[in-house]
Structure 1
Amino acid sequence: MQPTAWWSPRLWAAHLIALVCAGAAVALGLWQYDAWQAHREAERIDLTNDEPQPLTDVLGPDQPFPSEHVGRPVTVEGTWLPEGTVLVSGREKSGEDGSWVVTPLTVGGPDDAAIAVVRGWLPGDDPAAAPAPPTGTATLVGWLQPGEGTGAADEDPTDDVLPQVRIADLVQRVDVDLYGGYVVVDPAATDETGGRNAGTTQLEPATLDQLPPAGTFTGWRNFAYAIEWWMFAAFALFLWWRFVRDAVAARPQTSDQAGTDRPVGSAP
């Protein structure tokens, strides 16, 4: 088999397809690997004591949640959407089971996109025990968190109690878009900055240690995707090698090659 046969013009299309498929798979694998690294870096950084930044400087309404800003203090100003208030159960405090009280707050005008705000904590999970949700405008400071997505089932989708702060569930309760994250109010920082109508009256403060344990699979999933893409790249190269090898082996002999294969002394 002559090496030059592998670069015959009739095989250029196969070479190009293999190069595109393998290159795309390697690039996607590197992208997933970078995402995994970003998760690891975010876990090493504690931003909760940083100076608050305006939410709009950190996250846009149509942007994916930036993992490097998990726990960052942000300032939010807008209008409450009391009709979107829910309880998020399973939030323990000092050994007592309780719930977060969550109300969306528009960021800007009343018709702008909103962000879910954890106003505070109360014992149990009875919506009737929660104080009336706030109305009007508000200014507050809180810790930014990504939407939760552990896959916990909602045993009763008809009530106002959710098992987690899942943005897809909250957006069905309001008539505006929601940011891809939520804010846990920091009452102390809100008071220091002159916050008004923060909706924390009659509620105990919610704290970040009430967050459910982070799923270890979340970060490793990106790493697994990277491995899958690189395996696909290797498989694409293997298919290219098999196809080109078989195509070269099945190439018909030329008349000159056929002549050299005749036994010595045989008639032409």
Structure 2
Amino acid sequence: MQPYLAAREELIASADPGTEAAEELCALMDEAVSALAEAASARAPKRVAIVALGGWGAGRLLPASDLDLLVLCDEPPVKVKPFVEAVLYPLWDAGLAIGHQVRTRKQQLTAVRADTDTLTATLNGRVVCGDAGWADAVLAECAADAAKRSREVLRALSARPRPGSPYLLEPDLKDGAGGQRDLDELAWTASVLTGRPRAGFEALVDEGIIDSAERARLDSAAEKIAAARWDLGRARPRAATLLALDAVEDVRINAALVQSALADAHHTLLTVRRRLAGGRAPDLRPLASPRLFELLERGEA
């Protein structure tokens, strides 16, 4: 783990903050976990895969991010314990915050149906190592199941709490209005509507929900928010989401640009919700997606 920790420390200290740095940190984590899994392969069951969930799965790992992983297996999880411990203990010993679950395919499908947070983490799922073809199929099955329940799932997503306003003097860049969770909800919505994991903003364009200019604003907002959160996580790991007044000096990107990004993300989310609900406003264009018309006609969006 020492080469990984050294490379991680160097990247956090020297990288230009933003989505590219977050992707590089993900790649380092992928390499470290893959190496640990390879070293523990003698203890592994015949069919197993390690899946990155949440922000790590989405390719958005920041200096203060927790790691969320899923071990998929085709045997009772208790039989996979030696392999899992061989992978996780070095990560824990290195001081990394790791959340993990060990599930079979059937257990994972049950879990995503029962809990929205588990579903959204899985919609960001990305196979790091192991039986990629099988694990990708499980992730696709979870997304397809969410699409069948689109009305229920979209309602649950819209009920997600988002404190504050994009215009607060001290905004929460993760859970607050316009923060990362609003961007996440747009990506989750794309996955629910298309039945594909990690569908992303481009799928919203393909579905006729947003246009290319709106997608560009979302990409720009995501870049600015990631840059601000990277610097906050580097300087203030215990308060890595709140852009407090006394933390502005720790963030290299202008605070006014961050606030503009929060507003763009939040207003785009509200616009998408109105479009999915069949609402109209002067700045909204008619929906063009046959899939959306089908959902609205059946009352499932």
State the TM-score, normalized to the length of structure 2.
0.23
Query: Counting helix residues as a fraction of each chain, which structure ranks higher?
Result: 2
- Name the structure where strand makes up a greater proportion of residues: 1
- The structure showing larger relative contact order (alpha-carbon pairs under 8 Å, at least 6 residues apart) is 1
Q: Give the alignment's TM-score, normalised by structure 1.
A: 0.25
